[in-house]
């Protein structure tokens, strides 16, 4: 081997050695100067940081009636590193009223990073929640025997009534996904899971405090670090006032007992939700106990789906409650005016197509068509709109124009209510029908959408919002259940006016037609003393029995409440929905 080759090899070996040394130096610099990983381990050995939970903000109705409040409870926490290996487990289990198998299962869960990603043997973990007073007293006097375990006070939610479960939501222990999403939480913490508790979680939860305790070299707690100078007190959550009227909510839920469907009432001038009912429902108080998991499984298995908030998640054919939106569109597009009359010989008839209708005088004008809920009238209106080639260059353009009007009225997309889980419904467009019929469709193919059937789907919230829009003569404010957050301004999203594509003057004609529906048409059963109610019934066809629907507002001028009642399989609109609506109006306006 030549001297050159030896020299070259030595350079290579030297370079490798220098590289390895450089890697070690960089790693040491990172760990000691940049990274706080080992500092955390050192801190964990020297300190024990105990979280102090804040009082969660309370929830009140629009009249300051308390709906959700806090009650003190006790949780048993554990720090794995501090447990005495020779602890008398049998005695501990007996004191707590659990078996040794329960003890082992709880410990295995805590140490399972798959189910408990925030696990550390140096930090507090939830072992047993919600000790009652008796359990607390029996255990407290023995805690000195069980190092590593300690009792922590915490407030749990309590509900003043068995109503408004879907609006209020619930609070439960965080999941692995919750912890992954927000590092504020650790295992054993609580978070809003549904309703207002979920959507306003950050305002309601407050800020946790920290109590820093000092350990000695053997890991034993020696007291507060620096006399408590490093402690931070918890900051209570913000109180929330809802737009909900608790008494109206109670009455509405009682009226829906034994039924399936929804009731939503909105204050048109503000967009505040006055009541929101989804039936069947459940008592929110059952989910505040240690048996929450057991009760939740029962609710999830219930075939009536009580956990489903039908008010914002149910997607239904709107039936004849959709007709006012058609009248407004046809007037704005100059397809018809208030004097235009169309025939209705038992319904719409053209060539081989027939869409039936109930008996009423014919022909009739717009006001009478709304009052009597004439199917033929609105089918003719859409037929002439989609086939009007002097105004629209093609069927596609006419259909797109129609859809734009529907979207401007709040249909087809989520409205943006301040609650989780809202669905969008469906307003079909030309592309939808191109795909559904392979491009071979015309006005007659889709005519049933003019009367709220066919492919059209609305949520009850969207129908209630339509009532509020008509009450306001052409605009709506996005419906919202929260009226005020303590110390904060409500998001401007919930004060902005959203105007439709229809002029105010046309809304006045629809209001008159809806008033006629109450005085002499299909809504006569919704009359109440002292107030001029405007309404529109709907009978939404359904294979399992027609749905009964009412949409309206009151009073006619300066409206205070807009309302939808949707009863699944309730028959004609006048059969189920109208009597319920009358009692809701009476409760809110006449306090009866």
Nearest to 450 by CA among 385, 371, 361: 385
Q: What angle do CA 403, 406, 411 make, to 5 degrees?
A: 120
Quick check: 41 pLDDT over 50? no
User: The CATH number of the domain where 438 resides is what?
Assistant: 3.40.710.10
Domain count, the chain: 2
Quick check: 1 pLDDT over 60? no
pLDDT of residue 77: 87
Ranges of H-type helices in 194-309: 195-199, 201-205, 246-255, 292-301
In a domain, 31, yes or no: no
Query: What three-state secondary structure class fits 131?
Result: strand
State whether 338 and 197 are in the same domain. no
User: The CATH number of the domain where 64 resides is what?
Assistant: 3.90.1310.10
- Which of 219, 239, 259 is the endpoint of a domain? 239
Average pLDDT over residues 290-317: 93
In a domain, 12, yes or no: no
- Which of 239, 260, 282 is the endpoint of a domain? 239
State whether 384 and 499 are in the same domain. yes
pLDDT of residue 517: 97
In a domain, 350, yes or no: yes
pLDDT of residue 118: 73
In a domain, 22, yes or no: no
pLDDT of residue 219: 55
What is the per-residue pLDDT across 176-227, written as a single tens digit (0 to 9) for each? 889 889 988 887 788 999 999 999 999 999 998 887 777 665 556 666 766 6
Half-sphere exposure of 270 (CA within 13 A, CB side): 19
In a domain, 32, yes or no: no
Q: How far apart are CA 580 and CA 429, in angstroms?
A: 34
Average pLDDT over residues 3-15: 61
Range of the domain at 499: 246-295+311-590
Q: Grade residue 306 by pLDDT with cuts at 50, 70 and 90.
A: very high
pLDDT of residue 39: 45
In a domain, 7, yes or no: no
State whether 208 and 261 are in the same domain. no
In a domain, 43, yes or no: no
State whether 436 and 544 are in the same domain. yes
pLDDT of residue 30: 56
- Which of 239, 254, 280 is the endpoint of a domain? 239
State whether 206 and 290 are in the same domain. no
Q: Grade residue 42 by pLDDT with cuts at 50, 70 and 90.
A: very low
State whether 285 and 342 are in the same domain. yes
State whether 221 and 192 are in the same domain. yes
Per the prediction, the chain carries an average pLDDT of: 89
State whether 63 and 205 are in the same domain. yes
Average pLDDT over residues 119-138: 82
State whether 161 and 232 are in the same domain. yes
State whether 219 and 361 are in the same domain. no
State whether 440 and 510 are in the same domain. yes
State whether 252 and 233 are in the same domain. no
Q: How far apart are CA 446 and CA 455, in angstroms?
A: 8
pLDDT of residue 496: 97
């Amino acid at each position: 081997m030549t001297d050159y080759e030896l020299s070259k090899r030595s350079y290579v070996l030297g370079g490798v050695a220098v590289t390895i040394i450089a890697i070690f130096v960089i790693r040491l610099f990172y760990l000691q100067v940049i990274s706080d990983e080992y500092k955390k381990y050192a801190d964990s050995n020297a300190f024990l940081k105990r979280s102090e939970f804040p009082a969660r903000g309370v929830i009140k109705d629009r009249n300051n009636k308390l709906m959700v409040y806090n009650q003190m409870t006790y949780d048993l926490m554990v720090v794995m590193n501090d447990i005495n290996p020779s602890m008398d487990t049998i005695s501990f289990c007996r004191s707590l009223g659990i078996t040794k198998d329960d003890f082992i299962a709880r410990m295995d869960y805590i140490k399972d990073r798959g189910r408990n990603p925030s696990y550390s043997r140096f930090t507090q973990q939830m072992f047993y929640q919600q000790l009652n007073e008796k359990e607390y007293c029996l255990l407290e006097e023995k805690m000195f025997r069980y190092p590593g375990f300690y009792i922590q006070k915490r407030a749990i939610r309590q509900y003043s009534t068995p109503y408004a479960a879907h609006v209020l939501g619930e609070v439960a222990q965080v999941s692995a996904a919750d912890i992954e999403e927000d590092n504020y939480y650790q295992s054993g913490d609580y978070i809003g899971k549904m309703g207002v508790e979920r959507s306003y979680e950050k305002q309601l939860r407050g800020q946790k405090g920290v109590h820093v305790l000092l350990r000695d070299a053997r890991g034993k707690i020696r007291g507060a670090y620096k006399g408590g100078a490093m402690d931070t007190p918890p900051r209570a959550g913000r109180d929330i006032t809802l737009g909900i009227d608790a008494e109206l909510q109670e009455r509405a839920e009682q009226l829906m007992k034994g039924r399936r469907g929804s009731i939503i009432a909105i204050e048109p001038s503000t967009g505040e939700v006055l009541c929101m009912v989804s039936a069947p429902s459940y008592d929110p108080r059952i989910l505040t106990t240690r048996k929450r998991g057991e009760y939740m499984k029962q609710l999830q298995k219930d075939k009536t789906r009580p956990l489903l908030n039908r008010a914002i998640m149910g997607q239904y054919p709107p039936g004849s409650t959709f007709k006012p939106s058609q009248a407004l569109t046809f007037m704005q597009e100059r397809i018809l005016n208030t004097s235009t009359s169309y025939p209705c010989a038992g319904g719409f008839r053209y060539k081989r197509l027939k869409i039936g209708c109930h008996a009423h005088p014919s022909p009739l004008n717009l006001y009478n068509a709304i009052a009597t809920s004439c199917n033929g009238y609105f089918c003719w209106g859409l037929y002439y709109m989609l086939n009007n080639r002097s105004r629209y260059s093609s069927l596609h353009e006419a259909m797109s124009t129609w859809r734009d009007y529907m979207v401007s009225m709040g249909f087809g997309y989520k409205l943006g209510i301040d609650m989780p889980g809202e669905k969008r419904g469906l307003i079909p467009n030309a592309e939808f029908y191109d795909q559904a019929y392979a491009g071979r469709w015309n006005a007659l193919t889709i005519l049933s959408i003019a009367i709220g059937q066919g492919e059209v789907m609305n949520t009850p919230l969207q129908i209630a919002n339509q009532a509020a829009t008509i009450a306001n003569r052409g605009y709506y404010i996005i419906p919202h259940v929260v009226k005020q957050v303590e110390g904060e301004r409500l998001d401007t999203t919930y004060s902005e006016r959203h105007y439709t594509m229809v002029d105010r003057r046309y809304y006045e004609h629809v209001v008159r037609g809806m008033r006629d529906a109450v005085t002499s048409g299909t809504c006569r059963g919704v009359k109440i003393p002292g107030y001029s109610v405007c309404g529109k019934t709907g009978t939404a066809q359904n294979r399992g029995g027609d749905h009964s629907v009412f949409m309206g507002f009151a009073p006619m001028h300066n409206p205070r409440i807009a309302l939808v009642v949707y009863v699944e399989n309730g028959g004609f609109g006048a059969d189920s929905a109208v009597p319920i609506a009358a009692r809701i109006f009476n409760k809110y306006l006449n306090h009866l």
